[in-house]
Homo-oligomer: A and B are copies of this chain.
Amino acid sequence: MSLRQFEYALAVAEQGSVTAAAELLRVAQPSVSQQIRSLERELGVKLFARTATGLVPTVVGRAFLREAEVAVNASRRARATARAGADDLVGELVVAAQMGFGTRQLPGALGTLRRRFPRLEVTVFEEPSSAELERLCRRGVLDLALMAACERSPANAHHLGDEEFVVVLGAGHPRLAADRVDLRELEGEPWVRFDRDSALDGVLLNVLRDNELTPTTVARVSQTATAVRWAAHGLGVTLVPASAVPHGHEHLVRPVFPVVSQPVIAVVRPGAGPAETALFDLLRQETWHKAASFSPVS
């Protein structure tokens, strides 16, 4: 069975004869006749009854033609979609973000993208594991990935900006009296950490090591919102990207000294099309400056 046979059969049904259908299709009459007969032979049923003035669909032929028409129409939409994709932005964009990074910038860029290109669909998911995210990039299943830069960032990474990290303290914590917190003063504090092998936990480990702090783990969580909430309740302190702090917790947040920030990169698939490129451009236009959430820059 082929689309060509479907189109020939539909034309015969519509025109009422093989000769008229052949004229419409701009092929010779025997070509249509042969294709119809070949289709009937393959299916083992008579799709058309032969009359002196032409062909008419049989009972089962009509049912068959209904589905054949669905197939032909879908193939026309497929072609139109592909053609449109070469010029306009249609299709399905797959984006992954390393959890905690770009939590405010990515939605902003996606909102603008959707308004400009309504026919473009976007699938976004967060990926906690750095190794897994890099593996997905290498496999090519992602159109664009947002992640923290590290020593094994891919060669096609583009630096977007820096994500500043802040400490979240419990309500009533004495360090809230200051505008910012010296990391050394957090010696002995229990930490709400993230899952092992996650980028966020890697950042914390580096910070603790660089400041000669002993990591005392009170909990391990998967979500940044959970970490912030538990820290706010006084379970311990936690270190998260500033953009990941939910509304309503700003009063429990303090920048740290020395400043902790992580360069954020976008990895775009090699040979990117117009959709990925558009999103990348929008992400670059977002605000990625240091301490963005505390000293607004126009």
Interface residues, chain A, CB within 8 Å of chain B? Answer: 1-4, 6, 43-47, 49, 51-53, 56, 58-64, 66-68, 70-72, 74-75, 77-79, 81-86, 90-94, 120-121, 138-141, 143, 269-271, 273, 275-276
Contacts and interface: CB of A to CB of B under 8 A. Distances in A.
Contact of A143 (B1, B45, B59, B68): B59
Contacts of A64: 78, 81-82, 85, 91
15 contacts: A43-B86, A46-B273, A49-B271, A52-B138, A56-B140, A59-B120, A63-B82, A63-B85, A63-B92, A63-B121, A64-B81, A67-B74, A70-B74, A71-B71, A71-B74
A261 to B, nearest CB: 32
Contacts of A120: 59
Given A3-B2, A70-B70, A74-B70, A82 B140 contact: no
A140 B70 CA distance: 25
Main SS at interface, chain A: helix
B60 A90 contact: yes
Contacts of A275: 59-60
Contact of A59 (B2, B60, B61, B276): B276
B77 A67 contact: yes
B79 A1 contact: yes
B271 A86 contact: no
Contact of A68 (B4, B63, B74, B85): B74
B63 A90 contact: yes
Contacts of A121: 63
Contacts of A140: 49, 51, 56
Contacts of A1: 3, 75, 78-79
Contacts of A75: 1, 3, 6, 67-68, 71
Shortest beta-carbon contacts, A-B, top 5: A60-B85, A67-B78, A59-B91, A71-B74, A51-B140
